[in-house]
Structure 1
Amino acid sequence: MSAIDDLADQLARDALDAAARLGDDRLIDDISKAIGASSPVSQEAFVSAVRIRQALARGRAVMDSRLTQAASQKAGPEKSGG
């Protein structure tokens, strides 16, 4: 990764965390606009990092849900045959 990508990714992590803690979905957009006012390249790197992290979080949630489902099915009571 380039320095700009590293910096944008760190800001994306911090912004996503702050947005979750504040319950403020608009925070990401506000940060993006602030960055874009002085550096469109940095803005694009930030937005890309946010989208990647959000997509990966959704993917992880699906995987975790399937693992939980599988674990609960294995731990459930066995049907006896007679």
Structure 2
Amino acid sequence: MALIEDLAEQLAHDVIEAQKELGEDRFYIDIGNYIGTSSPSLQEAFMTACRLRLAELRGRAYFEKRLGELRSAKEPAPAEDAPK
């Protein structure tokens, strides 16, 4: 059902943004548990959306770190001052 995925995606986006703002890395679990009391189907879709978003954030951070390291390693070393 597309409605469940749409709702879950929208909420996951908002929760992940709030989580970053608050520095609460498990905030989504609290929200997921609360949702589950009303709709296990929405809870499942929400938790999946959150896990995917969090994995993408971690993957992107690692990618950017490694890319920076590899680019730095390819830069030529600065020339030393010539002897006077």
TM range, normalised to the smaller chain? 0.7 to 0.9
Considering only aligned residues, what root-mean-square deviation do their CA atoms show, in Å?
2.0
Q: With structure 1 as the length reference, what TM-score do the two structures score?
A: 0.81
Could you list the structure 1 runs, at least 4 aligned residues long, displaced by more than 3 angstroms after superposition: none
Q: Is it true that 1:60 corresponds to 2:32 in the alignment?
A: no
**Counterpart in the other structure of 2:72:** 72
Query: Counterparts of 2:7 and 2:58 in 1: how far apart (Å)?
Result: 23
**Counterpart in the other structure of 1:46:** 46
Give ranges in structure 2 of 5+ residues lacking alignment: 80-84
Q: Looking at CA atoms only, which structure, 1 or 2, has the larger radius of gyration?
A: 2
Q: With structure 2 as the length reference, what TM-score do the two structures score?
A: 0.80
**Counterpart in the other structure of 1:27:** 27
Query: Counterparts of 1:77 and 1:50 in 2: how far apart (Å)?
Result: 42
How many equivalent pairs are there?
Answer: 79
Q: Which amino acid aligns with 1:36?
A: G
- The one-character-per-residue Cα deviations of 1:52-78 (angstroms, maximum 9, x if unpaired) are 111111211221112101221233416
% identical equivalent positions: 47
